[in-house]
């Protein structure tokens, strides 16, 4: 019986193909919109997490702040020292690596070309805290770091703009002029791409910290301390220990405010991901309204269909069809329409998500859960909005139905 009812429903849908298509259009738009929004939102969240992870593993970034004076004015606070990084490594447990970092923007010249970039001064620990790898060449030697030798490691963007050639090749052993001195390129960093804030991480030149201080900036300032925590470390305890150590080294009294800021990239990733998920949920909820509109469209068309087929319904009831059979026929017709709209919506959403993910530069992440839920929800819409027209058809008086013109 169920098969016959299903066959009758399909035959009725096939008989009015254009009307059936227009009926399920709302469901198609709703399902495709919901799936596309959620898929792109998940891809954006993944992209943000990947970009922030690219800054470093379990990374804490410590930067100097500004001490407030009377009337809201501020005055300069002391910069960090190279010894602060060594003290962090020696005195705080759970620290995998700590690197002092200084930066400045300069125009570098080499191979007859020039390029505006930032020059970073640090130690070899900078590679560990920032998850950097070398595509070619070597890291700094100990005596080069102590002496502030004229050696440098360039990012992929600088290599491409100055020396050209294939990725990771070219530039090794060449001279690169930074301000008034020339350094020998001893390494090329592996490409990392764009950071979470939109800046190009590969647009950099790395030199030993002493080289930056003596030959580029002319001072001993260290603007940032990069601290990488060991896996499984308690970040709250470690940050408290770090804060206490820096307060002692910077000679801050108990009543003084911190003149430095500690940024936990893991917390930053969680905050941005949480915001992205909220926006994804909001957009998905707005798109889901189309499903309700589609459901109302199905109910409207089914009511029209019942009115058009009044004599057919009366004839079936008169020759012995049960009410539940008529109810089931129209209910299955509504469910088939809604489910068909769900399937078409999933196909369209998959194609749209792949294309838009490529355009937006975010990964495409297929989520079987949201696809299955969207399909089941669309079928449920068919049951919900198809029941009233089906019940109306089943409760018709056969005699009155046969008299209907």
Answer yes or no: is 350 within a domain.
Answer: yes
- Please indicate, yes or no, whether residues 107 and 196 belong to a single structural domain of this protein: yes
* Reported confidence tier of residue 69, pLDDT bands at 50, 70, 90: very low
- Does the pLDDT at position 166 exceed 50? yes
| Residue at which a domain ends, from 196, 228, 260 | 228
Q: Extract the tokens encoding 311.
A: 């004599």
Based on the fold, state whether residues 396 and 324 are members of the same structural domain: yes
Question: Cβ(213)–Cβ(165) under 8 Å?
Answer: no
Residues 281 and 224 occupy one common structural domain = no
Helix, strand or coil, per DSSP, at residue 260: strand
Last residue of a domain, one of 207, 228, 249: 228
What is the per-residue pLDDT across 222-246, written as a single tens digit (0 to 9) for each? 888 988 888 777 778 888 898 899 8
Residues 116 and 32 in one domain: no
Residues 41 and 108 in one domain: no
> What is the predicted pLDDT for the residue at 5?
66
Domain-located, residue 233: no
Residue 267 forms beta bridges with which residues? none
Is the model more confident about 371 or about 264?
371
- Phi, psi dihedral angles at 130 (to 5 degrees): -100, 10
Dihedral, CA of residue 32, residue 35, residue 41 and residue 47, to nearest 10:
-100
The strand pairing partners of 334, in sequence order, are none
For tokens 């030199």, name the residue: 207
Least trusted range by pLDDT, from 46-60, 268-282, 293-307, 331-345: 46-60
Same domain, 123 and 210: yes
Has residue 347 been placed in a domain?
yes
Which among 26-30, 118-122, 130-134, 401-405 has the top mean pLDDT?
118-122
Residues 184 and 278 in one domain: no
Domain that holds residue 194: 100-228
DSSP string computed for 279-307: HHHHHHHHHHHHHHHHHHHHHHHHHHHHH
Cα(330)–Cα(351) distance, integer angstroms: 32
Whether 64 is covered by a domain: the verdict is no
Residues 44 and 134 in one domain: no
Tell me, yes or no, whether 212 and 109 share the same domain: yes
Q: Which range has the worst mean pLDDT, 95-104, 165-174, 339-348?
A: 165-174
The answer, yes or no, to whether residue 132 has pLDDT greater than 60, is yes
Split at pLDDT 50, 70, 90, the class of 66 is: low
My answer on whether 33 and 113 are in the same domain is no
* Token pair recorded at residue 313: 């319904």
Domain presence at residue 320: yes
Percent of the chain beyond pLDDT 70?
89
204-227, pLDDT tens digit by residue?
Answer: 999 999 999 999 888 888 888 988
Query: Is residue 22 included in any domain, yes or no?
Result: yes
Predicted pLDDT at 381: 80
133 and 13 in one domain? Answer: no
277 and 399 in a single domain? The answer is yes
Average pLDDT in the chain: 81
Per the listing, tokens 């200084």 go with 102
154 phi/psi in degrees, rounded to 5: -105, 150
Total number of domains in the chain: 2
Q: Between residues 329 and 121, which one has the greater pLDDT?
A: 121
Of 193, 213, 228, the residue that ends a domain is: 228
pLDDT of residue 373: 85
Query: CB within 8 A of 254, min separation 6: which ones?
Result: none
| pLDDT at 139 exceeding the cut of 80 | yes
Residue 266 lies in a domain: no
> Does some domain include residue 66?
no
């Amino acid at each position: 019986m169920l098969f016959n009812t299903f066959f009758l429903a399909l035959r009725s849908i096939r008989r009015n193909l254009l009307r059936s298509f227009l009926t399920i259009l709302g469901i198609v738009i709703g399902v495709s919109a919901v799936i596309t929004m959620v898929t792109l939102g998940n891809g954006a969240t993944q992209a943000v997490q990947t970009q922030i992870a690219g800054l470093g593993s379990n990374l804490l970034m410590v930067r100097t702040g500004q001490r407030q004076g009377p009337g809201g004015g501020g005055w300069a606070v002391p910069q960090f020292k190279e010894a602060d990084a060594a003290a962090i490594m020696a005195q705080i447990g759970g620290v995998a690596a700590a690197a002092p970092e200084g930066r400045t923007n300069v125009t570098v010249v080499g191979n007859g070309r020039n390029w505006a970039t930032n020059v970073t001064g640090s130690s070899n620990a900078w590679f560990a805290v920032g998850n950097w790898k070398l595509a070619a060449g070597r890291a700094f030697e100990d005596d080069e770091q102590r002496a502030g030798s004229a050696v440098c490691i360039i990012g992929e963007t600088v290599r491409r703009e100055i020396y050209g050639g294939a990725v990771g090749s070219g530039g090794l052993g060449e001279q690169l002029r930074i301000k008034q001195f020339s350094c020998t390129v001893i390494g090329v960093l592996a490409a990392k791409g764009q950071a979470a804030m939109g800046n190009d991480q590969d647009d950099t030149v790395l030199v030993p910290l002493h080289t930056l201080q003596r030959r580029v900036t002319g001072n001993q300032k260290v603007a940032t301390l990069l601290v990488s925590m060991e896996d499984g470390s308690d970040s709250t305890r470690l940050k408290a220990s770090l804060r206490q150590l820096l307060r002692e080294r910077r000679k801050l009294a108990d009543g003084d405010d911190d003149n430095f800021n500690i940024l936990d990239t893991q917390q930053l990733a969680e905050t941005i991901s949480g915001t992205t998920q909220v926006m994804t949920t909001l957009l998905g909820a707005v798109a889901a309204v189309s499903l309700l509109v589609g459901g109302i469209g199905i109910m409207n068309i089914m009511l029209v269909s019942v009115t058009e087929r009044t004599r057919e319904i009366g004839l079936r009831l008169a020759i012995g069809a049960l009410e539940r059979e008529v109810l089931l026929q129209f209910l299955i017709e509504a469910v088939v329409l809604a489910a068909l709209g769900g399937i078409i919506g999933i196909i369209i959403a998959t194609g749209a998500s792949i294309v838009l993910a490529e355009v937006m530069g975010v990964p495409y992440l297929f989520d079987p859960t949201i696809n299955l839920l969207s399909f089941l929800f669309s079928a449920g819409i068919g049951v919900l909005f198809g029941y009233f027209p089906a019940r109306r058809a089943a409760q018709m008086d056969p005699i009155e139905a046969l008299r209907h013109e």
